[in-house]
């Protein structure tokens, strides 16, 4: 396989910026990709901070101006790992130069932003991808294979959740997470499980939602300050396939650290998964001997999607960073072939559409047909 280098620019040097930088360093040797990323430039909010991140993460140069990064001729592809209110302008500028863009979720801060981003990507004919990493675990990829092969029959019901407890304690200061709709649970955690439900059961046809703020005030430097966004939400839905569904998202679920989980029932069997045990998938196959009836725990191993590239031992497991490396492989493959790989900006737009439908349902207290949004 012929190899060539490709210059990468990353906007954002925080938690996700670092994760993508590490992934770009690792993806070549892990997957033996034809394109070998070279970290050309990183952008953060200050020149000194950007220079520090460049030294820490192995970039050739740095800037505090994302436009400089986008315009840099050495930067051939761009990863957007900055706050969602910056996504639209960065993506549009990159697409004007026909540069591929990988954008962290959620795609836009709202449905309008996402629609504009999709239109810009289509007009440019440029490769685009949105960052939903949890669905890329070997176990969830295996779940998709099982469903698509018909092993559990037709899906009749999906229960999904994304629950965490980082805001469960009411004495935790509000910070930026407590301000603005786009930073609430519907903008932060809901996109992951909405994307997951799309991957596993297909698109949602209609829904009804209830969205709520649990802790209405939090401590701040000047005393108690109001929380202006949502803590948790429930969505009851009907998928286009005819399957029923229910989604729950929360940042105030005591005890849950990474509660990305789902139960899926079909006409021949069922699947269970919990991201807190991300290297195991539970499978129930119908027609079992009553004396041996029950779910089977499948430990992921080299026989399952992408696992073998990280480890040769079944049950040894993959981790969070490996999901980001798999994303990097997909992005590079899309660039190499010129063909987009799921999830694209259009799939990110779908997530924003479902979030908007949920908000409209919450406000009108009624069922919403998603194709009317």
pLDDT of the residue at 2: 77
Nearest 5°: phi and psi at 111?
Answer: -65, -40
Q: Render pLDDT for 221-256 as a digit per residue (tens, 0 to 9).
A: 889 999 999 999 999 999 999 999 999 999 999 999
Q: Render pLDDT for 183-210 as a digit per residue (tens, 0 to 9).
A: 999 999 999 999 999 999 999 999 999 9
Q: What is the mean pLDDT of residues 59-78?
A: 98
Ramachandran bin of 98, using left for φ above 0, alpha for ψ from -120 to 50, beta for the remaining angles = left
* Distance, CA of 126 to CA of 111 (rounded, Å): 21
- Listed in sequence order, the residues at least 6 apart from 165 whose beta carbon sits closer than 8 Å to its beta carbon are 251, 252, 253, 254, 255, 256, 257
pLDDT of the residue at 1: 64
Q: Render pLDDT for 269-295 as a digit per residue (tens, 0 to 9).
A: 999 999 999 999 999 999 999 999 999
Q: What is the pLDDT of the chain when averaged over all its residues? A: 97
Higher pLDDT, 1 or 94: 94
* Distance, CA of 10 to CA of 103 (rounded, Å): 10
Round to the nearest angstrom and report the end-to-end CA distance of the chain.
Answer: 46
Say if CB 351 and CB 194 are below 8 A apart: yes
DSSP class of residue 211 equals E
* Distance, CA of 145 to CA of 151 (rounded, Å): 9
Global pTM value: 0.96
Q: Render pLDDT for 129-152 as a digit per residue (tens, 0 to 9).
A: 999 999 999 999 999 999 999 999
Q: What structural domains and CATH numbers belong to the chain?
A: 4-132 (3.40.50.720), 135-315+350-364 (3.30.360.10)
């Amino acid at each position: 396989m012929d190899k060539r280098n490709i210059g990468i620019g990353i906007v954002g040097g925080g938690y996700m910026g670092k994760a993508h930088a590490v992934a770009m360093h690792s993806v070549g040797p892990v997957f033996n990709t034809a394109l070998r990323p070279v970290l050309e430039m990183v952008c953060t909010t200050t020149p000194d901070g950007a220079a520090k991140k460049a030294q820490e993460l192995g970039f050739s140069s740095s800037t505090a101006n994302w436009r400089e990064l986008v315009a840099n001729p050495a930067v051939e592809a761009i990863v957007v790992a900055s706050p969602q209110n910056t996504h639209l302008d960065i993506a549009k500028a990159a697409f004007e130069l026909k540069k591929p863009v990988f954008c962290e979720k959620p795609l836009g801060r709202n449905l309008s932003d996402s629609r504009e981003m999709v239109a810009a990507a289509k007009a440019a004919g440029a490769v685009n991808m949105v960052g939903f990493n949890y669905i890329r675990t070997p176990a969830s990829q295996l779940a998709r294979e099982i469903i698509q092969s018909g092993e559990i029959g037709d899906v009749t019901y999906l229960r999904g959740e994304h629950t965490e407890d980082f805001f469960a304690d009411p004495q935790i200061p509000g910070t930026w997470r407590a301000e603005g709709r786009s930073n609430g649970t519907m903008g932060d955690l809901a996109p992951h499980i909405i994307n997951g439900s799309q991957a596993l059961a297909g698109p949602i046809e209609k829904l009804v939602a209830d969205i709520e703020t649990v802790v209405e005030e939090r401590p701040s430097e000047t005393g108690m300050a109001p929380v202006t966004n949502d803590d948790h939400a429930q969505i009851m839905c009907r998928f286009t396939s005819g399957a029923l569904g229910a989604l729950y998202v929360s940042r105030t679920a005591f005890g849950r650290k990474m509660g990305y989980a789902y139960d899926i029932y079909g006409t021949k069997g069922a699947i269970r998964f919990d991201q807190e045990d991300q290297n195991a998938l539970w499978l129930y196959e119908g027609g079992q001997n009553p004396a041996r009836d029950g779910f089977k725990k499948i430990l992921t191993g080299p026989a399952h999607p992408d696992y073998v590239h990280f480890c040769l031992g079944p049950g040894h497991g993959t981790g969070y960073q490996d999901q980001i490396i798999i994303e990097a492989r997909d992005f590079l493959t899309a660039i190499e072939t010129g063909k987009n790989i799921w999830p694209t900006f259009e799939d990110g737009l779908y997530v924003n559409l479902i979030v908007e439908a949920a908000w409209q349902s919450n406000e009108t207290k009624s069922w919403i047909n998603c194709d009317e949004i």
